[in-house]
Structure 1
């Protein structure tokens, strides 16, 4: 049985406080009552824009169009709207096909403002109402387009003056605006600093959120406590350093950065070093996901690899009855899948030896490329981006004059600009992270202090120390390889490539330059010359035994 579906749309939720909702609802009810038709008032898109078709792709209108397409709306039913611009404010070529599809499906579109009814029967007999509908669609799109241009122009002026005055009163949750000035909210600012401290020390999002909720720290969003998703967003939000980045939506509705970020716009809540330390910790955890256990049982989680085949070293924990009996062994050898490295390394025995060796290792020769090189790379990409933007602006005039060939070049340059913007962002982050990360010497000193503290710590303090030690290992080492007799640490370095089965140096580079022996218990191997030396030795004339180590 045909029914009348009343479709109500408002671009902003604030319009609910005005007269728009009452007007649309009462007019639709009056029309249905006059016709004696049952009305369905469930079709509502509140706070949904029609300029780029969001209501058509994901709103209540999208659900209605799907019902019509599936035949779940009876032919002869009515779709009541205040005006055609409630259905869409897209360009005519985008709007008209959907309008015709509804008409051909037997739906009668009713517009209350101008009292028009668009049905297949009427338009078949008289096509002139189509001209009116096209004009209304075109006017709606032009109005939205003009409004959008005005808003963008106003926004561009605000962005240009961002370094001197407040752009918008919408600020991060740890900041408030008082007398036109932005200031930090003390308790919230301290909460943000706590999150970054704990993350940089090696705690994952789950652990951070659990502690915040356990300590009854007020959440910045709602009353349901802290969520992992919010902490994840906070870790990527450069506003904590005081940086402001303007965004606008492109033609497809996707948010894109506009212009360069404005530094020192917001009051900074953490330093650049603290921000990048936490970001580095987050990235390093991706190599070792999962829970760490009550005592961070495996400090080498995500790092331990078999020296023979490259497979992950598996941890076997015998449990509380055999305290301390934890072993690392090659997962491939355990499955008898072709690896001959059957050495089982006792974690209790090797852990202090490896940490001691790492603490005392000479790290001066290891590390990232110099900061100047990273800064130069970011500067070069920025220059390319500026050049691409200039060339695209020059093409715009040709595009507006109708040059068909220029249109494709303009689109290609648009893609190149977007690609360069992403590359510049990554390059800047790499340079910032390199400049803010601790030196190898600082890491060694911190590791030594943590090892000393771990010897007497218990409970939560011990877990916290072991968490930070594991984090230091992950940001310092790319992997730790376990062989039959030798444990080696391979340091992060831009000149190395890390494959699943081995570490590969660039051509002309010696791989040994990027690794250090952390433990070795290989037996002495004597050759004929050594044996002869022993046989000839007598008393004080004996020579020291040559040390030959099997590798």
Structure 2
């Protein structure tokens, strides 16, 4: 009854609200990337509040490094600086090409299967009508066999449709991701001039949209990278995958909005999702190496103002 793209976007939004929508809104949401922030080693990033500036402040640090668990990434990331990079470097258009699959869809879509079910249902109704009109005659048994056959086919197609629909829901979709990234940029712009009373609800909305768009925000020693999960294997270009595509083996635990979607959809969706996964690296910030610094005449880091 509604456009399929709209249904997919609404489904993703509902999934996020189930996780984040309960209770009264906070007056101030301190951590915009709660649940998303991970160190390059895989551990979660801790959110540290060291008190009021100038001596204090809020920081992210690797939980494993903080307890001397073997990670060397002991850098303290200033939360305000992280937010500045995160909110000003959003680029919805840059992810479109990476969402192009390596091959066309395998098998019919849930909508196409539903059309097959509707066609068989009409044929079943016709056969049942013929069986009733010929009740008591030898030919009636032929129509009754057809009705039984159609019942079996309809049930089989319903199961196939439900499995295909679960697989569709477990995949990221470009319209949903781009819409979420666009919303973050719009909300961030409003945040610049918002009153203190308005900032709480705006930041809550940003949290929801970030969790829809990104699977993780990864803190590496010299870079801040957002991982956008792709629905399937991207097209292989000459020389292999582009450097901005990250491949993860099956079996790794899911994070972000897709994990919450799996929790809602149950074991069948999780079984479908147990395959190699692909992510687009969206670089928010990185520091320059020695050669890059020399080539640019100094400076410690680079951001990408074309995304601002």
From 20, 25, 33, the counterpart of 1:300: 33
Once residues 114 and 55 of structure 2 are traced to their aligned partners in structure 1, the CA distance between those partners, rounded to angstroms, is 56
Contact 1:299 1:470 in 2 (8 A): yes
From 167, 185, 200, the counterpart of 1:448: 185
Contact 1:367 1:492 in 2 (8 A): no
**What does residue range 396-411 of structure 1 map to in structure 2 within 5 Å?**
none
Worse-superposed segment, 341-350 or 416-425:
416-425
Q: SS of 1:342's equivalent?
A: coil
Superposition deviation, residue 473 in structure 1? 1.6
Q: SS of 1:519's equivalent?
A: strand
Cα gap change, 1:290 to 1:330, in 2 (>3 Å): farther
**What does residue range 470-509 of structure 1 map to in structure 2 within 5 Å?**
470-495=207-232, 499-500=252-253
Q: SS of 2:109's equivalent?
A: helix
Q: TM-score scaled to structure 2, two decimals? A: 0.58
Cα gap change, 1:288 to 1:465, in 2 (>3 Å): closer
Contact 1:381 1:424 in 2 (8 A): no
Contact 2:110 2:162 in 1 (8 A): no
Contact 1:447 1:472 in 2 (8 A): yes
CA RMSD of aligned residues (A): 5.3
Once residues 294 and 492 of structure 1 are traced to their aligned partners in structure 2, the CA distance between those partners, rounded to angstroms, is 31
Once residues 314 and 283 of structure 1 are traced to their aligned partners in structure 2, the CA distance between those partners, rounded to angstroms, is 25
**What does residue range 144-223 of structure 1 map to in structure 2 within 5 Å?**
none
Q: TM-score scaled to structure 1, two decimals? A: 0.35
**What does residue range 511-526 of structure 1 map to in structure 2 within 5 Å?**
514-524=280-290
Contact 2:227 2:282 in 1 (8 A): yes
Higher RCO structure, 1 or 2 (CA under 8 Å, sep 6+): 2
Superposition deviation, residue 421 in structure 1? 4.6
Superposition deviation, residue 345 in structure 1? 1.3
Q: State the partner residue of 1:70.
A: none
Kindly provide the CA deviation profile for residues 334-388 of structure 1, in whole angstroms up to 9, marking residues without a partner as x.
3333333222211112211221112587344244769x95995224533665688
Aligned length, in residue pairs: 251
Q: State the partner residue of 2:49.
A: 317
Once residues 73 and 254 of structure 2 are traced to their aligned partners in structure 1, the CA distance between those partners, rounded to angstroms, is 14
Cα gap change, 1:367 to 1:428, in 2 (>3 Å): closer
Once residues 50 and 106 of structure 2 are traced to their aligned partners in structure 1, the CA distance between those partners, rounded to angstroms, is 47
Contact 1:295 1:463 in 2 (8 A): yes
Q: State the partner residue of 1:469.
A: 206
Superposition deviation, residue 519 in structure 1? 0.9
Contact 1:385 1:420 in 2 (8 A): no
Worse-superposed segment, 271-280 or 292-301:
271-280
Q: SS of 1:488's equivalent?
A: strand
Once residues 278 and 501 of structure 1 are traced to their aligned partners in structure 2, the CA distance between those partners, rounded to angstroms, is 21
Contact 1:490 1:515 in 2 (8 A): yes
Once residues 374 and 439 of structure 1 are traced to their aligned partners in structure 2, the CA distance between those partners, rounded to angstroms, is 23
Cα gap change, 1:342 to 1:501, in 2 (>3 Å): farther
Once residues 220 and 14 of structure 2 are traced to their aligned partners in structure 1, the CA distance between those partners, rounded to angstroms, is 29
Once residues 39 and 18 of structure 2 are traced to their aligned partners in structure 1, the CA distance between those partners, rounded to angstroms, is 20
Once residues 109 and 55 of structure 2 are traced to their aligned partners in structure 1, the CA distance between those partners, rounded to angstroms, is 51
Contact 1:288 1:301 in 2 (8 A): no
Q: SS of 2:231's equivalent?
A: coil
Q: SS of 1:469's equivalent?
A: helix
Contact 2:177 2:212 in 1 (8 A): no
Q: State the partner residue of 2:242.
A: none
Contact 1:359 1:444 in 2 (8 A): yes
Kindly provide the CA deviation profile for residues 476-524 of structure 1, in whole angstroms up to 9, marking residues without a partner as x.
222111111111111132026763399xxx98x9x68x21211112552
Q: SS of 1:455's equivalent?
A: helix
Cα gap change, 1:460 to 1:359, in 2 (>3 Å): farther
Once residues 391 and 324 of structure 1 are traced to their aligned partners in structure 2, the CA distance between those partners, rounded to angstroms, is 73
Greater Rg by CA: 1
Once residues 455 and 392 of structure 1 are traced to their aligned partners in structure 2, the CA distance between those partners, rounded to angstroms, is 62
Q: State the partner residue of 2:160.
A: 420
Q: SS of 2:94's equivalent?
A: coil
